[in-house]
Amino acid sequence: MTFTQNLSRTYQTRIQLSDRLNKIKEAIDNSNLNLTLDRELSDLEMASKNLREGVFRLLVLGDLKRGKSTFLNALLGERILPSDVNPCTALLTVLRYGETKKAIVYFKDDRPPQYLELVQPGGNNPSVTYYL
C-alpha cells in the first residue's frame, strides 16, 4: 500500500469513527433515560469534530538533547524548531497550523505577547531568524 493510499484509508477511518461518535451522542440525547452526561456528551461532540477536521495533539517528551526538535522538524518536513549542541528549546513549545509562519511568545509576567514573523535566514528581515 502506498503512502497516499494509507492517508486516504486513515481519512476514511477518521470520518467513520466521527460518524459513530455522533450516533452514540444522538442515541444518548434521544434516550428517555435521565442521565447527567452533559460533559461526556460535549467531549463526544468535540472528539467527533476533531476527528472530522484532522485535529490532534502530539506530545513529545524526553530528556535534554535527545532529538525531540529534530524529530518534530522531520515530521513537519521543515526546520521550524532549533536544534543545536546546546539545549535551545527547554520551554513548552506549541506548534499549530497557520496561513503564515509566525511565533507568539507568551511571558510569565504582565507583558503582552510578542508576535514574531518567521523568515528564512539571510532573508529580508535580519532581526528575526527562521528558528525560534
Does the pLDDT at position 125 exceed 50? no
Q: Sign of the CA dihedral 112, 117, 118, 123?
A: negative
Residue 12, domain member (yes or no): yes
Does the pLDDT at position 66 exceed 90? no
Q: Assess contact for 130 and 103: CB atoms under 8 A.
A: no
H or E stretch including 107? none
Does the pLDDT at position 100 exceed 50? yes
113 forms bridges with which residues in the sheet?
none
pLDDT the model gives residue 20: 95
104 forms bridges with which residues in the sheet?
115
Q: Assess contact for 93 and 132: CB atoms under 8 A.
A: yes
Residue 33, domain member (yes or no): yes
Mean pLDDT in residue range 124-130: 41
Residue 114, domain member (yes or no): no
Residue 7, domain member (yes or no): yes
Residue 19, domain member (yes or no): yes
Residue 60, domain member (yes or no): no
Pure H helices in the chain: 3-30, 38-53, 68-76
Per DSSP, the three-state class of 2 is coil
Most confident of 20-24, 33-37, 72-76, 103-107: 20-24
For the chain, give the percent of residues with pLDDT over 90. Answer: 20
In which domain, by residue range, is 34 found? 3-53
How many domains are there within the chain? Answer: 1
**Those residues with Cβ within 8 angstroms of residue 76's Cβ, 6 or more apart along the chain or in another chain:** 95
Q: Assess contact for 32 and 62: CB atoms under 8 A.
A: no
